[in-house]
Amino acid sequence: MLTRSDDLDILLTVVDTGGFSAAAELLGIQVARVSRSVTKIEQQLGVTILNRTTRRVDVTDEGRQFIEAVRNGLQLLQQAEHDLICRGDLPKGRLSVNAASPFVFHQLVPLMHEFRTAYPDIELEITSNEGYVDLLEKHTDVAIRIGKLSDSTMHARALGNSLLYLVATPEYLAKRGIPKQTCELNYHDLIGFSEPKILNNWPLKGGYVAEPTMRSSNGETLRQLVLAGHGIGCLSGFMVNKDLAEGRLVAVLESEKLVNTGREQINAVYYKSSSVARRISAFIDFIQPKLTL
């Protein structure tokens, strides 16, 4: 018996999110549905893919090879579907996309020339908003959301994870010193968010709530303040990976940093509608492999 592709999608989501509950929340389905899909796959294969404990799931050695093959196979399937669409009638009409302005600047804008070439009949509208957006109220077709999702009434597709970094310029660190322990941040100038304040909970062991000396509600403004040498900020990799690679910024306290906090998650969320489904799929399928998270 062949395994259904939606069961395989569920399995990959469990692996990527690290748990059944997290996968169910991301996909907007019941945990029992997630468990049934994974169990069905294992029974069909006669192999244990995931080791379950009360706190986490781990991929077995046999499962790791299977997961890699499934991921590659589904990517080939998505590419085949994309190629088929490209050979037929291209999707056309208005598509409204919303994302935080740093994501728009650093991830979407660089892809738009290629996207417009591939889909010339999609009338793309990109809006930016630093807070939560009600898709229906704002007439938005798809929104890019950063962090753990809480709204299960919408469909979601995981775009990947973007690590958080505590960063400063080499010049600032040469002048003020490189913090070796979390407590040493109290002697530095910190750049943080005015809203939402929860983003000033920095992902450090033992927890750390930054008290910024300079604040903004806009992540790109924070990046510019850090680049100007005003202090240390906590920013997503999709904003600063290039700055780090080219030496404009330096990451500090890497040994104290926590990962898999939920804030690293990047998702595309949308309401399914037959009138815009092809446009949404075309957009997400196009950007996902090209993002530099």
pLDDT in tens, 15-41: 888 888 888 888 888 889 988 998 998
Q: Domains along the chain?
A: 5-85 (1.10.10.10), 90-161+264-290 (3.40.190.10), 164-256 (3.40.190.10)
DSSP state of 51: E
pLDDT of residue 1: 43
* Burial grade of 120 (CB within 10 A; 0-12, 13-18, 19 or more): exposed
pLDDT of residue 130: 64
pLDDT of residue 152: 59
pLDDT of residue 273: 63
Please provide the average confidence, as pLDDT, over all residues in the chain: 86
Percent residues over pLDDT 90 in the chain: 48
Are 127 and 96 in contact by the 8 Å Cβ rule? The answer is: yes
pLDDT of residue 72: 82
pLDDT of residue 114: 94
Percent residues over pLDDT 70 in the chain: 88
The torsion angles phi and psi of 98, rounded to 5 degrees, stand at -125, 140
> Which of the residue ranges 120-134, 143-157, 230-244 has the most confident prediction, judged by mean pLDDT?
230-244
Through-space distance between the first and last CA atoms of the chain, rounded to whole angstroms:
37
H-only helix segments in 125-232: 170-176, 219-227
User: CA–CA separation, 185 vs 9, rounded Å?
Assistant: 42
pLDDT of residue 88: 56
pLDDT of residue 64: 85
What's the pLDDT band for 55 if we cut at 50, 70, 90? low
What count of other Cβ atoms lies within 10 Å of the Cβ of residue 168?
27
User: CA–CA separation, 254 vs 292, rounded Å?
Assistant: 20
DSSP symbols for 79-102: HHHHHHHHHSPPP-EEEEEEE-HH
What are the structure tokens assigned to 64, written together?
């790791």
pLDDT of residue 86: 55
Segment 247-264 mean pLDDT = 93
Per DSSP, the three-state class of 252 is: strand
What's the pLDDT band for 241 if we cut at 50, 70, 90? very high
pLDDT of residue 58: 84
Convert the pLDDT of each residue in 148-167 to its tens digit: 887 556 788 899 999 999 99
pLDDT of residue 2: 46
Convert the pLDDT of each residue in 74-108 to its tens digit: 777 776 666 665 555 778 899 999 999 999 999 99
Of residues 255 and 67, the one with the higher pLDDT is 255
